[in-house]
Structure 1
């Protein structure tokens, strides 16, 4: 709904889903839902806010989810760091985005996620198109080279 521009509907649906999530899985809940935890649910909310164009709010949510992510879940860290980077680039928070470059580098080398790599490539393209500090531009060029080598 958020991607369709139906923001009020998306907010209502998300609120309902959040309440159901807070109620817990229950005995008759789907067994596949075991992986939906508070961090994952925060990611869902941040994606809704991103689709609504509220990149500042999504960056805050992604940052909080990333801070609470288990360090052993490397794939999730790569994904959450990439989404945070994308949101920071969207709001022009160049210095904050720059701090993530060094965090993203090892994930590109270690995690083979085409979806995350595609999202990161899009964010790097936005960096290329913007007037950013030279250190962020250099970091983006470096990450793009790593992505090109990984794909």
Structure 2
């Protein structure tokens, strides 16, 4: 299958399952409780589709939904009894739009979504959503090579009263940024978070914390070892994280597989890298992620510099083009 046909197939499959809601109604239409409920259903569907297909094809839809809902919120045609719930729902939609844009590496757009969503969350005192957005912003700063900015954002998060699970999430963000700055204490921090994560779950945790688990921490520790120049250790961690991905969570398998490929190439484990790349290729018709593609492009360059077998280099070139 060609690159273009694979991307077209993904778009068709995603479009066929897009959430249907009243989000596109004109701003002057009065907002009802039914509208807010449908908006929440649309958000849930975006999150589900992201887990199956990745964020690239979903960004335009999420952007339209957020613009329309924001316009209706600003118009003020809703009863005062809905003000808080409606505002919090639009903030959540902005967080999702920001995450999708981040996965698509539309970084400036992601920042705009995040800042507007953060403003709305603060207006209604939604501390849980504020922490979620700040965590995403810290991850984006780290991903784009701004580790000090990531640490500044983490310090903002640490000013809040944090539940055990939220402390684990914040610690992972701090550890990842600190590792990029060459701080060896980062490994003690991530291991402490790993020791605490299983006992950190509480019924009062925000619903979005479902992804704060041992697998997530293994991924971050793997990235930290790569930053420290030990790709062999990173390979073991990324492989363990990949094995723990639920079968239906294809996006996590895709980006997790790309991380494993990158670590294997750095470790010059050619045969294992080719097998891992083959597994990633099986997901291409269904999933897209610009962040995964960037890792595969970087792996292609590393393979070329390290004189990897041509078969592996060709496979990586094809994957990176997705």
Question: What is the TM-score with the length of structure 1 in the denominator?
Answer: 0.84
2:234 to 58, 77, 95: 58
| C-alpha deviation, 1:99, in angstroms | 1.1
The answer to whether the 8 A contact 1:69-1:76 is kept is yes
2:183 corresponds to which residue? 6
Question: Is 2:272 the counterpart of 1:96?
Answer: yes
Q: Say which one has the larger Rg.
A: 2
* Structure 1 residue 86 displacement after superposition: 0.4
1:118 aligned residue: 294
Q: Distance in 1 between matches of 2:216 and 2:295?
A: 18
How many angstroms apart in 1 are the aligned matches of 2:268 and 2:230? Answer: 13
Alignment partner of 1:92: what SS?
coil
Q: Deviations over 1:14-50 (max 9, x none)?
A: 1222233132222454443211222222112212222
- Contact 2:299/2:316 (CA < 8 Å) preserved in 1? no
User: Structure 1 regions of 5+ residues with no counterpart?
Assistant: none
Hey, what does 1:135 align to over in structure 2?
311
TM-score scaled by structure 2?
0.42
Q: Does residue 1:85 correspond to 2:261, yes or no?
A: yes
Cα RMSD (Å): 1.8
Query: What residue in structure 2 maps to residue 49 of structure 1?
Result: 225
The alpha carbon displacement at 1:116 in A equals: 1.2
| 1:19-58 to 2 correspondences below 5 Å | 19-58=195-234
8 Å CA contact 1:89–1:123 kept in 2: the answer is yes
Of structures 1 and 2, the one with the larger relative CO (CA 8 A, separation 6+) is 1
Distance 2:304 2:286 in 1: 24
Alpha-carbon distance between aligned partners in 1 of 2:285 and 2:298, rounded to the nearest angstrom: 18
1:107 lines up with 2:293 in the alignment: no
> Unaligned regions of 5+ residues in structure 2, if any?
1-177
The 8 Å contact of residues 108 and 117 in structure 1, kept in 2 or not, is answered as no
Listed one character per residue, the Cα deviations across residues 55-93 of structure 1 (whole Å, up to 9, x for unaligned) are 111101111221232222110000111000000001111
Per-residue CA deviations over 1:102-138 (Å, capped at 9, x if unaligned) read: 2122333321211111111111121122211232123
Q: Which stretch has the larger CA shift, 80-89 or 22-31?
A: 22-31
Q: Distance in 2 between matches of 1:73 and 1:31?
A: 18
What is the distance in 1 between the residues matched to 2:203 and 2:281? 42
